[in-house]
Structure 1
Amino acid sequence: MLLLVIYKNWDWIIVHWNTETRYKLLLEINNAIATRKSRASLFKSLSKELHRHFGYDRLSIILYDSQTETITYFAAADGVQPGGAIAHKSRPLADGAIARIAINSGQPAVFDDLNQYTDLSSVGELVKAGLTSTMVFPMIVRDRVLGTIHFSYREKPTAITELTEVLMATSQQIAIAVENMLAYTSLKHSHQHLQEEKEYLLSSTRDYQAGGFFFASTQMQGVMEIIKQVANTDETILITGETGTGKDFLARLIHDMSPRRDHLFIKTNCPGLTASLFESELFGHAKGAFTGAENQRLGRFELADKGTIFLDEIGELPIDLQAKLLQVLQEQKFERVGESTSTPVDARVVAATNKNLMEGVKTGLFRQDLFYRLETVTINVPPLRERPEDIPLLVQNINQTESERMNREAPIYTGDVLEFLSKYHWPGNVRELKNMVKRLIILQPGQPIYAQDIKRTFPLNNKGNKESNEVSTLNQAQRSHIIKALTETNGMVGGKAGAAHLLGIPRSTLQYRMKKLNINHADFLPKPR
């Protein structure tokens, strides 16, 4: 009959160990951890039950990754805390680690006098903490070693051989509980990933029109040739061009023509990334990482894994945040806020800017190393004024697709109005043209459109026409458009009836430009009577 050592009130007492006692012990452990849904709660309940029976001075569970040969704590250890023990910090499994012995052999590793094993990794720290003996048990489920469970004592147990056999049976039960917890966590993470993918796809679908990028100019033919050549590679691409030239459309086109087309295209608006939101938005955060973080959240890089991440207006990213982005691009891994383990990521990066990044490098506003990392392939999209032959084709196709989407009869554009529009310099480029066409669909559905209708509805003949000597700056044109949109929407910024929707841009982008142009939406709210 085996003897079980139980530590109670700092005295060792011997009790009989038999089948009935074993069954009762394992049942109590199982009941203590069966309904736990997190690592921390499972370990807390488990350690409480194990301490009641075995009176350890330190208990820890370590997870083992056989592919990377690394280990990490399942949860913060209970009891004595030696120096150098960091919960959740992944590290390589040293050849001389006591956990290595149990993992390689698949058998318990018992160290009844730690002072004789100080040459082994981390044993010195245990001795300094006052621990004299340690028993390490492999957690094995279906021939797979999940990790190890460690029982450590200040005083050597008097019947350590018998205790080892009892704890070996106990560790098998613990291994099953740990595997179930890891499977539950993985399933929960996969479900969350699918939910966030679904939400992202629903929110982004409206921003993307299927179909071709309409052009007739030789400039755009050259752009499309470059896209065809680079789409099938995984190289980083930098798309440059003025605001409204269609850089985001081309980024999506590159994704759709690439082998990654069956995975997500994730757009990130860099001007909207503040220092406080940057890491959480791009890399995600763990549950409880900060006040209000009630659940784990996936970042945009993780959502883009195996797909494409589009960094729009990257020239607006503050210099202090550029280093963090560069690190992820170089190492292809990141850490969620509130975690210290790295998550690998395989995402193709496409960036866009309306700024001269080289000038930013010279003035110290943009990192040189990040610039060279991004400009592997650069595609410059010419402004609409440099390709007037594209304008009639764009007008006709936007008129058709948008009128069908709105379920309204398409206006009819006469030859003189197309010629007139081709002479306008379009500071807002394709976006401005599209918004003008959409507005005419609303105001004059099914009616012929003449040049005088354009002149009456839009100030194109006063500013910006090539035949006029008075040309507005891009900021003036943007300010004028935003003010008109806010006036029409009575100061409402977001929503389907808001200015952002009317202008065809994301709400965050409009808010950024309003702040930059010193426009306050409150100035356009209806005045109380």
Structure 2
Amino acid sequence: MQWNLATRHQMLLEITNAVISKTSNQEFLNALAAVVKKYFPCDRLSINLYDKKGQSLKYFTNAAGIDPKGISSLDRRPLLKGTIAKMAIQSRQPVIIDDLSQYKDMFSIGQMVKAGLISTLAFPLVMRNIVFGSLHFSFKKTPENLSELSELLTEVSKQVAIAVDNLVAYNRLKNEKQNLEREKRYLIGDSEDYKSKDFCYTSPQMTEVMRVVKRVAEIDAPVFITGETGTGKDFLARYIHHISPRKDYMFVKVNCPAIPPTLFESELFGHAKGAFTGADSMRVGRFEMADMGTIFLDEVGELPENQQVKLLQVLQESRFERVGDSRPIEVDFRLIAATNRDPVKSIQEGKLRNDLYYRLNIIQIHVPPLRERVGDIPLLIEQVTLNESDQIHQPAPRYAQQALQLLNAYHWPGNVRELKNFVKRMIILKPGGLINSHDIEKMIEFEEQTNVEKNIPIPTLAESERIFIEQALIKCRGIIGGKNGAARLLDVPRSTLQYRMKKYGIKPEITVQMGD
């Protein structure tokens, strides 16, 4: 084909029209390859992205055309000396190789030769005077007009550079938006159970706690909440934020023990793009998300000492740097922290730094365990029953007076969290029914066996229900229905029990073996 001016313009126009609407890398390259093949035979078309800082390459997407074995990985790879891509990137000039066999000692070129490719053209991709990649055309039969074709493809490479740069920027913004959406979903999901009206209490102990809470909410000072596991420290922290002057901004929870040590700085302070392997986009950390709002450090006493030091520095200076970025970021936040340990004892044991404790402990609020606020139990049961039955679309059960008396007398080692799990189980097992003293006695016996005698943490709702069903089946020797069956013992329809057994993968014969 003769590359006259009209043909050149027509090809460039077709390339623009073909790729302009593409938002995925693979669709982009496939569309480009389709136009190219209309004008000249091309057996392989590929694009590399160049990372100058890491001196490495990564394929923009899977190559179009021939796929030589061993060189099509999308993983990042070093920019090796003597490679075609490096020649084009370093020289910033087109590279013309009409005989690849001369370079077959290099692994990638050797694989191309084995696949039948004999020649190639490579062009640097340049934007804003920065080389950010390379464009490659490879052939099984060398075109007769290789030099003339190279001139045309130099113009094509300039157009491709603009389009690829735009698509890379688009994907980066898309990834950052997705990251922010994930963060948003995390925060919404983490707080979806919170409703301030659910904070119900009448006991003198909680009345005093709430008197202090309402007074300190308006004071922009750190708050340190202490109390046993399950007492509602998280809920109280959210309540403080909800009635504070910062309520229109974010409440950001950090579950300190759940953060892997290697990700501590990235989670709290964020990271720059390319800060480490896998950091394909910039990430906003928890402190930055909490700017103008409240950050809640849950179980802060569980952090290792080296992480406590890093945390203390941010609390003192109200500034930090993202991982991989030297620019300081200043933030304005309200700090609330919580622990289920005795902080003084933790200091004595060397688990909590003195200086961090003094920074956190400007205002301390202790949440009493549920066993010390017995007057709140009926209110909590009523409120949780209404909330949970509405959430799972089941009619709320009713409680006999004797049942409520037993619940009032129970010591609730798991506090409010245990009470919520208990109520959820009752809704599932007896929707719309009457909860009597026998039901409560069975449940308390189960709780004491699993939580006290075995000294294990309060199980989740699903775990508790599964264990409860297994215990009933063991007691009934695997019998499901009939007067001696587990369904009757649990006071649920046989079909309901069978559905739950299927859900949790419980087989009657296995429970018989467990009982033996």
Please tell me the TM-score bracket, short chain as reference: 0.5 to 0.7
Which of 348, 366, 375 pairs up with 1:362? Answer: 348
- Amino acid paired to 2:198: G
Q: CA RMSD in A?
A: 3.7
2:429 corresponds to which residue?
443
1:274, distance to aligned residue in structure 2 (A) = 2.4
Contact in 2 for aligned 1:243/1:429 (Cα 8 Å)? yes
Question: 3-state DSSP class of the match of 2:335?
Answer: strand
Task: After TM superposition, list the pairs within 5 Å mapping 1:182-197 onto structure 2.
Answer: 195=181
Deviation at 1:205, TM superposition (A): 3.7
Q: Which amino acid aligns with 2:286?
A: R
Which of 274, 282, 306 is residue 320 of structure 1 equivalent to?
A: 306
Report if aligned partners of 1:428, 1:474 keep a CA contact under 8 Å in 2. Answer: no
Q: Which moved more, 1:326-335 or 1:450-459?
A: 450-459
The aligned counterpart of 1:239 is 225
1:66-465 matches, within 5 Å, as: 195=181, 198-459=184-445
Contact 1:392 1:418 in 2 (8 A): yes
d(CA) in 1 for partners of 2:468, 2:448: 21
Q: CA deviation at 1:195?
A: 3.5
Calculate the TM-score normalised by the size of structure 2: 0.55
The CA distance in 1 between the partners of 2:216 and 2:317, in whole Å, is 22
Instruction: Using structure 1 for the length normalisation, give the TM-score.
Output: 0.54
- Residues of 2 paired with 1:525 and 1:321: CA distance? 41
- Alpha-carbon distance between aligned partners in 2 of 1:391 and 1:280, rounded to the nearest angstrom: 41
Over 3 Å counting, the alpha-carbon distance change for 1:364 and 1:205 in structure 2 is closer
Q: CA-to-partner distance for each residue in 1:468-507, whole Å, 9 max, x for gaps?
A: xxx93794353798964665799xxxxxxxxxxxxxxxxx
Between the aligned partners of 2:219 and 2:245, the Cα distance in structure 1 is 8
C-alpha change, 1:443 and 1:463, in structure 2 (3 Å) is same
User: Within 2, Cα distance between the matches of 1:189 and 1:441?
Assistant: 41
Deviation at 1:264, TM superposition (A): 0.6
Question: 1:253 deviation in Å?
Answer: 0.3
Q: Distance in 2 between matches of 1:413 and 1:197?
A: 40
Q: State the identity %.
A: 50
TM-superposed CA distance for 1:312, in Å, is 0.6
Q: Do the aligned partners of residues 189 and 291 (structure 1) sit closer, same or farther apart at CA in structure 2, a change above 3 Å counting?
A: closer
Query: Is the contact between residue 176 and residue 281 of structure 2 (CA under 8 Å) also seen in structure 1?
Result: no
Q: Measure how far apart 1:379 and its partner are.
A: 0.4
Q: Runs of 5+ in structure 2 lacking a partner?
A: 1-48, 53-169, 471-503, 511-516
Distance 1:216 1:412 in 2: 21
Q: How far has the Cα of 1:201 moved from its partner? A: 3.6
1:478 matches 2:458: yes
d(CA) in 2 for partners of 1:436, 1:244: 13
Measure the CA separation in 2 of the matches of 1:401 and 1:244. 18
Gap change, CA 1:472 and 1:198, over 3 Å in 2: closer
1:189 deviates by 11
Structure 2 SS opposite 1:349: strand
Instruction: Tell me, in whole angstroms, the C-alpha distance in 1 between the residues paired with 2:283 and 2:460.
Output: 39
CA contact (8 A) 1:427 1:477 kept: no
Q: Is the 8 A contact 2:287 2:331 kept in 1?
A: yes
What secondary structure is seen at the aligned counterpart in 1 of 2:385? Answer: helix
Amino acid at match of 1:472: V
- Structure 2 vs 1, CA of residues 284 and 426 (structure 1 numbering), >3 Å: closer, same or farther? same
Q: 1:525 to 1:438 in 2, by over 3 A?
A: closer
Residue 525 and residue 286 in structure 1: after superposition, are their counterparts in 2 closer, same or farther (change >3 A)? farther
Q: Give the Cα–Cα distance (whole angstroms) in 1 for the partners of residues 359 and 266 of structure 2.
A: 23
Q: 1:397 to 1:199 in 2, by over 3 A?
A: closer
For residues 297 and 466 of structure 2, the distance between their equivalents in structure 1, rounded to whole angstroms, comes to 27
Say if 1:463 and 1:392 are closer, same or farther in 2 by CA, change over 3 A: farther
Q: 2:425–2:465: 8 Å Cα contact kept in structure 1?
A: no
Whether the aligned pair in 1 keeps the contact of 2:176 and 2:282 (CA below 8 Å) is: no
The whole-number CA distance in structure 2 between the counterparts of 1:282 and 1:335 is 10
Q: In the TM superposition, what is the alpha-carbon distance from 1:525 to its structure 2 partner? A: 7.7
The count of aligned residue pairs is: 316
> Deviation string for 1:124-165 (max 9, x for gaps)?
xxxxxxxxxxxxxxxxxxxxxxxxxxxxxxxxxxxxxxxxxx
Query: Take 2:303 and 2:445, find their aligned partners in 1: how far apart are those partners?
Result: 33
**1 CA distance for matches of 2:460 and 2:264?**
31
Letter in 2 for 1:417: A
Distance 2:287 2:259 in 1: 14
- Aligned mates of 1:275, 1:355 — CA distance in 2: 21
C-alpha separation in 2, matches of 1:432 and 1:260: 31
CA distance in 2 between counterparts of 1:351 and 1:259 reads 18
Is the 8 Å Cα contact of residues 411 and 440 (structure 1) preserved in structure 2? Answer: yes
Cα 1:351–1:404 change in 2 (3 A) is same
C-alpha distance in structure 2 between counterparts of 1:486 and 1:463, whole Å: 15
Cα 1:322–1:405 change in 2 (3 A) is: same
State how far apart, in whole Å, the 1-side matches of 2:256 and 2:454 are. Answer: 20
Partner Cα separation in structure 2 for residue 488 and residue 463 of structure 1: 11
Indicate conservation of the 8 Å contact 1:455/1:461, yes or no. Answer: no
Contact 1:193–1:303 at 8 Å: present in 2 too?
Answer: no
Distance, in Å, in 1 between the alignment partners of 2:357 and 2:272 is: 31
CA deviation after TM superposition for structure 1 residue 212, in Å: 3.2
Secondary structure of residue in 1 paired with 2:431: coil
C-alpha distance 409-484 of structure 1, shift in aligned 2 (>3 A): closer
Give distance in 2, aligned partners of 1:193 and 1:228. Answer: 35
